[in-house]
Amino acid sequence: MMLLGRGLDARDNQTRQMQDAVSNVEKHFGELCQIFAGYVRKTARLRDKADLLVNEIYAYAATETPNLKVGLKNFADEFSRLQDYRQAEVDRLEAKVVEPLKCYGTIVKLKRDDLRATLTAKSREAKQLSQLEKTRQRNPSDLHVIAENELQRATMDATRTTRHLEETIDNFEKQKIRDIKNIFSEFITIEMLFHGKALEIYTAAYQNIQNIDENEDLEISRRMLRKDEEEDEEEDEDDEEDDEEDEFDATKEVR
């Protein structure tokens, strides 16, 4: 009686502990999955904004003087290239972090079934063992040898099942740690790849901005303004107007 009660409580506790462990993993992997998915979504939103920025820089560059135009266009080219890497980051995080975490729900379910089956087998064998024990106690003489043999076989079965249960738990723990290490390593590697590319690209982009020759552009914008005046003059040769009173440009008269 004492032995049986003790065994039952221990098993109950073990079962509860294992089920708690599996539920805990299920819960936290589920939450990690959701938050990582949110992180990926926000990264994609950041890329969207960066794309808008690229387009606006192109649009503005098109209206500017040559050096500024080229500098901004080159910057936008590089910045756009970085967004391709950000897209790759998003795709990789989706495939290597979010998806495996999502799949974990199924893995945990299978593990739980496996555990349950092993526990059922163990309980069935334990019942058999206890019945044999009782039989032996009730018939200590004639059935002794048969019961002893059966008891021995039942004990061996129970030992095998116990070992299988321990292996099942072990495998679950092993796979869990391996998966966590794998998922977090992938996360870090993917992020590092992006940050490394970002550093490389921004280094080039920085030069594009620094190389904008402001003096040359000022010279050009001055020339453009004057050229415009001269063209205007040429046009006016054929197309004179008579508005002499109101507003008047002195520049021409002075030269």
Span 43-102, contacts to its own copies by CB under 8 A: 43, 45-46, 48-50, 52-53, 56-57, 59-60, 63, 65, 68, 71-72, 75
233 touching its own copies, by CB under 8 A: yes
Question: Cβ distance 108 to 26 under 8 Å?
Answer: yes
Q: 1 or 142, CB closer to its own copies?
A: 1
The residue from 86, 94, 104, 217 that contacts its own copies (CB under 8 A) is 217
Q: Judging by beta carbons within 10 Å of its beta carbon (0-12, 13-18, 19+), is residue 78 exposed, middle or buried?
A: buried
Element (H, E) at 208: helix 144-210
Structure tokens at 39: 């992180």
Total number of residues that touch its own copies (CB under 8 A): 110
Greatest CA separation for the chain? 140
The residue from 66, 91, 206, 223 that contacts its own copies (CB under 8 A) is 206
Residue 59, SS3 per DSSP: helix
Q: 143 or 175, CB closer to its own copies?
A: 175
Residue 64, SS3 per DSSP: coil
Q: 51 or 143, CB closer to its own copies?
A: 51
Q: 146 or 184, CB closer to its own copies?
A: 184
104 touching its own copies, by CB under 8 A: no
Report the amino acid identity of residue 204.
A
Residue 144, SS3 per DSSP: helix
Site string for its own copies, 1-40 (x = CB under 8 A): xxxxxxxxxxxxxx--xx-----x---x--xx--xx-xx-
Residues 155 to 194: which contact its own copies by CB under 8 A? 155, 158-159, 161-162, 166, 169-170, 173-174, 177-178, 180-181, 184-185, 188-189, 191-192
The residue from 22, 77, 125, 148 that contacts its own copies (CB under 8 A) is 125
DSSP code, position 228: H
* CA–CA–CA angle 236, 238, 244 (5° rounding): 45
We find the least distance from the C-beta atom of residue 142 to its own copies, in angstroms, to be 24
Residues 6+ apart with CB under 8 A from 64: 72
